[in-house]
A = this chain, B = another copy of it.
C-alpha cells in the first residue's frame, strides 16, 4: 500500500480506502485515536483545515506513515480517477 497525495482530498480518499481495506469503521478509528467519529469523517472528506496532529493520529491508527519525497512527474490522472 503506497499512495501519493498532494491534496487534502487525495489524503482523505487514501485514508478511507486503507481503512476500509483493513475492515475498520470510523468508529474503530475513533476508538483508537480518541478523536470523534465526526473528525474522522471530516478528514476523509478532505477538510484542508485538519490539523497535523489529527492526520498523524489517524495514520498511526491505520498503521500507516508519511514519506516526504521529491515530486515525481506523473500523468494528470489522480488516484481518484484510477480507483473508483
Contact = CB atoms under 8 A, between A and B. Distances in A.
Interface in A12-60: 14-15, 18, 47-53, 55-56, 59-60
A3 B66 CA distance: 8
A63 B71 contact: yes
Contacts of A72: 65
Which range contains the number of A residues in contact with the other chain?
Answer: 20 to 34
B55 A65 contact: no
B53 A8 contact: yes
Contact of A68 (B49, B52, B59): B59
Given A48-B51, A49-B51, A51-B51, A15 B68 contact: yes
A82 interface: no
